[in-house]
């Protein structure tokens, strides 16, 4: 009996030591930490902070909503590299016995973004993302699909792709870019530098920016300070309601990277173009056949106008919609379907986006009074 009691004593001592160490360790961790403040931040639970958290939760919801609706686009192009001009010199080759050089081929890859337009696999992106490439692949939900270019429009920098997905896709929610105001939230989602599903937040910095690519075009752009970088092209610009209001297209940069100024194609412009690309595989641009000249202040006063807003008709093309409608040289177009025309660019933008065959109500200033004429838009010859 004594022997058994003697054997039990070390076990009891060992258990006591373990409990002592555990209690001391627990007590040391329950006290002040050596780093940082272990108490809650005074901002946690603050009323103003709670409001910010509500916006933060909205951003999280938008990301969850769009993470599988935004796609990753990769392209491949085979290009011929010219031979080295030094080795292409006949005298040099003869002198050193160098054989005639042949051109080499090299594969070049590109990256871009896009988004799902329909459950059966129509994808929107920028034209410059897929321009002159040999193959296009689209990654959706971590699955790669070979894409077909349905159509593109170089002027608006838009392209429509088609894939054959294994399952129904979830399309984006399209908003109304005409309702966008300066100061609105702006969220850019895309694949900058190949970093897929990157989410950046900013505001709308300006609307109706024109001639941003110095090409002399009349297309309007939405300006934003949401971070856009190479690879974001073709991705959506989303509002706080989770609606696509634009297609990220380009940036102003001296370094090639983000500098706080990015531009997106308004979704209302894109809708009309994409519908035509699906139907015709190209854009049928509308025209009415008027030639516009500058309206000076002096001539505006002679016509009885208060300012130089409007498009002064300098000439009419023969057998054009404008001629058939009765528009005359010297008329000033002030409105189209009750939308004011401030410059000729407004007229070009409205007419070019109008479906072929639609009749427009044109407000014309003639003989110091406004009259209305009706012009049926035709496809530009």
The residue length of the chain stands at 381
Residue 167 CA to residue 149 CA, distance in Å, equals 20
pLDDT of 344 reads 87
Burial track 116-153 (b if 16+ CB lie within 10 A, e otherwise): bbeeebbbbbbbbbbeebeebbbbbeeeebebebbbbb
How many alpha carbons fall within 13 Å on the CB side of residue 291? Answer: 6
pLDDT of 25 reads 45
Residue 274 CA to residue 366 CA, distance in Å, equals 37
> One of 113, 153, 157, 320 is an active-site residue; which one?
157
> One of 113, 128, 205, 220 is an active-site residue; which one?
128
pLDDT of 19 reads 45
Going residue by residue through the chain (381 aa), what tens digit of pLDDT does each one get? Answer: 444 444 444 444 444 444 444 455 444 455 556 888 888 888 888 888 999 999 999 999 999 999 999 999 999 998 877 666 655 666 656 665 666 666 678 888 999 999 999 999 999 999 999 999 999 999 999 999 999 999 999 989 999 999 999 999 999 999 999 999 999 999 999 999 999 999 999 999 999 888 776 544 558 899 999 999 999 999 999 999 999 999 999 998 877 788 889 999 999 999 989 999 999 999 888 889 999 999 999 999 999 999 999 999 999 999 999 999 999 999 999 999 999 999 888 898 889 888 889 999 999 999 999 999 999 999 988
Residue 81 CA to residue 291 CA, distance in Å, equals 45
Cβ count within 10 A of residue 18: 10
How many alpha carbons fall within 13 Å on the CB side of residue 7? Answer: 4
Task: Please give the angle made by the CA atoms of 249, 244 and 152, to the nearest 5 degrees.
Answer: 45
pLDDT of 253 reads 81
Per DSSP, the three-state class of 334 is strand
| Catalytic residue check, 221 | no
Q: Which CATH class is domain 177-280?
A: mainly beta
Task: Please give the angle made by the CA atoms of 205, 208 and 214, to the nearest 5 degrees.
Answer: 100
Residues of the chain with CATH 2.30.42.10: 286-379
Pull the structure tokens for residue 231. 């690879």
pLDDT of 5 reads 44
Residues of the chain with CATH 2.40.10.10: 70-162, 177-280
Enter the CATH code of domain 70-162: 2.40.10.10
> One of 113, 205, 220, 233 is an active-site residue; which one?
233
- Superfamily (CATH) of domain 286-379: PDZ domain (2.30.42.10)
| Catalytic residue check, 253 | no
């Amino acid at each position: 009996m004594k022997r058994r009691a003697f054997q039990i004593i070390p076990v009891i001592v060992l258990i006591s030591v373990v409990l002592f160490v555990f209690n001391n360790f627990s007590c040391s961790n329950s006290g002040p930490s050596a780093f940082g403040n272990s108490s809650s931040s005074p901002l946690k639970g603050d009323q103003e902070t709670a409001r910010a958290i509500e916006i933060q939760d909205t951003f999280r919801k938008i990301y969850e909503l769009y993470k599988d609706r935004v796609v990753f686009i990769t392209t491949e192009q085979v290009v011929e590299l010219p031979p080295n001009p030094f080795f292409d010199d006949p005298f040099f080759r003869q002198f050193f016995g160098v054989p005639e050089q042949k051109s080499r081929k090299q594969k070049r890859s590109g990256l871009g973004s896009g988004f799902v337009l329909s459950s059966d696999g129509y994808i929107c992106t920028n034209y410059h993302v897929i321009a002159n490439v040999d193959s296009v692949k689209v990654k959706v939900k971590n699955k790669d699909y070979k894409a077909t270019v349905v159509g593109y429009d170089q002027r608006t920098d838009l392209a429509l792709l088609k894939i054959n997905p294994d399952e129904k896709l979830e399309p984006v929610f399209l908003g109304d870019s005409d309702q966008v105001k300066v100061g609105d939230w702006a969220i850019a989602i895309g694949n900058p530098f190949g970093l897929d599903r990157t989410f950046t937040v900013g505001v709308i910095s300006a609307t109706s920016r024109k001639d941003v690519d110095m090409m002399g075009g009349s297309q309007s752009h939405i300006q934003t300070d949401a971070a856009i970088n190479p690879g974001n092209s073709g991705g959506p610009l989303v509002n706080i309601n989770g609606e696509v209001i634009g297609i990220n297209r380009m940036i102003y940069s001296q370094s090639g990277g983000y500098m706080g100024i990015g531009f997106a194609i308004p979704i209302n412009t894109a809708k009309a173009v994409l519908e035509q690309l699906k139907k015709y595989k190209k854009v049928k641009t509308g025209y009415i056949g008027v030639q516009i000249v500058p309206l000076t202040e002096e001539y505006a006063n002679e016509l009885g106008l208060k300012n130089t807003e409007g498009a002064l008709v300098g000439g009419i093309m023969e057998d054009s919609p404008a001629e058939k409608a009765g528009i005359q040289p010297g008329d000033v177009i002030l409105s189209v379907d009750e939308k004011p025309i401030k410059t000729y660019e407004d007229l070009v933008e409205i007419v070019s986006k109008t479906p072929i065959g639609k009749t427009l109500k044109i407000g014309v200033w003639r003989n110091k009074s406004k009259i209305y004429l009706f012009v049926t838009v035709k496809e530009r010859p």
